[in-house]
Structure 1
Amino acid sequence: MKIDYIDKIINRIIKECETRDPYEIAKQNGIFVIEEDLGEVYGYYNSFKRRKFIHINSTLEQEKKNVTACHELGHSLCHPLEKTPALTKMNLVSELKIEKEANYFATKLIVDDRHKEQNMETVYSVLDFYGLPTSFERYL
């Protein structure tokens, strides 16, 4: 999938849903979000009988839940029929194309330019401002 196509999906979904909140976007698109204890797994996306589900680890801090929800929302909107691996700390920096695309989607959905008002000096301060992992620097 091309990056400009992902950008079009993000821009369309923000315009249609009038929000960047992944939980609200999921709700408006009929995607069920389930929070449950997933152990070491941050989250995963699956579909069953044409229904889409995003599973988020209930034990994560809120910032990590948000990043995970955005990442999994990326899978549900960009790769709805693909079998995607569960998101863990280990594959957060995965080189799999499908995972990089979901990370790109999450970054672009979360970053809304509020940081420009804060006079951020480094990419890492921008990532920290939005609660994104440092490994996402390549997507800014």
Structure 2
Amino acid sequence: MERIIGKLARKYKTNNPFEIARELNILIRFVSMPEGTRGLYYRKLRRRFIVIDSELDENWQRIVCAHELGHDRLHPGLSRFWIDEYTFFNSGKYERQANLFALRLLTYNIDMQEDESLNAYLLRCGIPKELHSTFI
């Protein structure tokens, strides 16, 4: 995962998931989504899409974009809906991996300051408290 993130960030000279997705020709759409759904990733006719809840604030949209980008990079060809419906696999594993991908991407090349706590560092990187336990 670290190698994939480093390669993306170096190639596109950013850790901004929106810019990386654009460079990878992943189409991003903002729509009002049902309660409990922040975003999703899917492929259709060889086109890739990230759909993000338009009701989220900019920071959460960035996190969701990074998470869905993680699915594109780590789980090509897999759909959570397909996994849930047709297999006995635990889709939670893939969700945790995508969360970790998002956090590592959004903190890539941002160093902790001296005497800065992990929580303060993550907040400075725009990571909400709800996701801090994923990073540890």
TM-score by length of 2: 0.82
**C-alpha spacing 1:66/1:82, structure 2 compared with 1 (3 Å):** same
**Other-structure match for 2:55:** 59
Residue 31 of structure 2 aligns with an amino acid whose one-letter code is E
**What is the distance in 2 between the residues matched to 1:28 and 1:113?**
20
For the residue of structure 1 that corresponds to 2:28, the secondary structure is strand
Contact kept in structure 1, 2:119 and 2:132, CA below 8 Å: no
Question: 1:139 Cα deviation (Å)?
Answer: 2.1
Any gaps of 5 or more consecutive residues in structure 1?
A: 1-5, 86-93
Any gaps of 5 or more consecutive residues in structure 2?
A: 82-89
Q: Tell me if 1:100 matches 2:96.
A: yes
**Other-structure match for 2:13:** 18
Residue 135 of structure 2 aligns with an amino acid whose one-letter code is Y
Q: Tell me if 1:27 matches 2:22.
A: yes
**What is the distance in 2 between the residues matched to 1:24 and 1:130?**
17
**What is the distance in 1 between the residues matched to 2:52 and 2:114?**
30
TM-score by length of 1: 0.80
**C-alpha spacing 1:61/1:17, structure 2 compared with 1 (3 Å):** same
Question: 1:80 Cα deviation (Å)?
Answer: 1.8
Residues 106-125 of structure 1: matches in 2 within 5 Å? 106-114=102-110, 116-117=112-113, 119-121=115-117, 123-125=118-120
Say which one has the larger Rg.
2
For the residue of structure 2 that corresponds to 1:136, the secondary structure is helix
**What is the distance in 1 between the residues matched to 2:5 and 2:108?**
12
Q: Tell me if 1:7 matches 2:2.
A: yes
**Which of 62, 76, 80 is matched with 1:80 structurally?**
76
For the residue of structure 2 that corresponds to 1:34, the secondary structure is strand
For the residue of structure 1 that corresponds to 2:29, the secondary structure is strand
Please report the RMSD computed on the Cα atoms of aligned residues, expressed in angstroms.
Answer: 2.1
Percent of residue pairs bearing the same amino acid type: 28
**What is the distance in 1 between the residues matched to 2:132 and 2:78?**
22
Contact kept in structure 2, 1:71 and 1:105, CA below 8 Å: yes
